[in-house]
Each structure stands twice: as C-alpha cells, then as structure tokens.
Amino acid sequence: TQLLEQSPQFLSIQEGENLTVYCNSSSVFSSLQWYRQEPGEGPVLLVTVVTGGEVKKLKRLTFQFGDARKDSSLHITAAQPGDTGLYLCAGEGNKLVFGAGTILRVKS
C-alpha cells in the first residue's frame, strides 16, 4: 500500500514568516501533486511535479520533487493570511493517494 506522510500536521505562524511543508513516502510515484483546500470547499490543484529533482515556483510558493520521486516539499515565502488552508500532497501511481494534510494558519 502506498502511503504519504505529511509534516507538520498543523502550523500556526505570523504574517511574513517563511515555512516548509514536507511530504514523504517509501514508494515511488510517477508524479506528485499539491492541493490547497479551504473550509467547505474541494481541493484546488496548485502544481504537479513529474521529474525527480524538479523545482516549480508559483509566486511565493516553491515546490520541489525529490530526486528519487518519493518525497516533495512546499516552501512558502513571506506567508500571508490568504495562504491559510489545508495543504494536501497526492501521489499518482495506480490511483491518487493523498497525505493527511497540513493545516496552515497565518495570523496577521
């Protein structure tokens, strides 16, 4: 069974701080996706990483896929209250496997 572990589970920071969320697995995935979910809504895709070692940037968000395609990280620079939400990583193999998520709260 493919499992994805996310850490930390919960993060509360002040506006302007930087943070990193991790997504780790013992399995290799063909691609890995990061989603952001707000309360009462469905997950919204942020990025898909496919190649080992790949780095993608989306404004203040930087996503990295591990060389062995087993892990990924999401780094947010100068966090803002609008970044608050549940961040989910999902690995694609036979099916999409989700991590439990990281709840981020950015206080102003």
Footprint on this chain of another protein (rule: CB under 8 A):
4, 6, 33, 35, 40-45, 48, 86, 88, 90, 94-101, 103
Smallest separation (angstroms) from another protein to the CB of 16: 26
Name which of 94 and 108 has its Cβ closer to another protein.
94
The radius of gyration computed from the CA coordinates of the chain, to the nearest angstrom, equals 13
Name which of 55 and 96 has its Cβ closer to another protein.
96
| CA–CA separation, 67 and 25 (whole Å) | 13
Q: Which residue has the tokens 């990583």?
A: 89
Phi-psi group of 98: left, alpha or beta (phi > 0 → left; psi -120 to 50 → alpha; rest → beta): beta
Smallest separation (angstroms) from another protein to the CB of 32: 12
Smallest separation (angstroms) from another protein to the CB of 69: 18
Q: What's the CA dihedral at 40, 42, 46, 48 to 10 degrees?
A: 150
Name which of 45 and 78 has its Cβ closer to another protein.
45
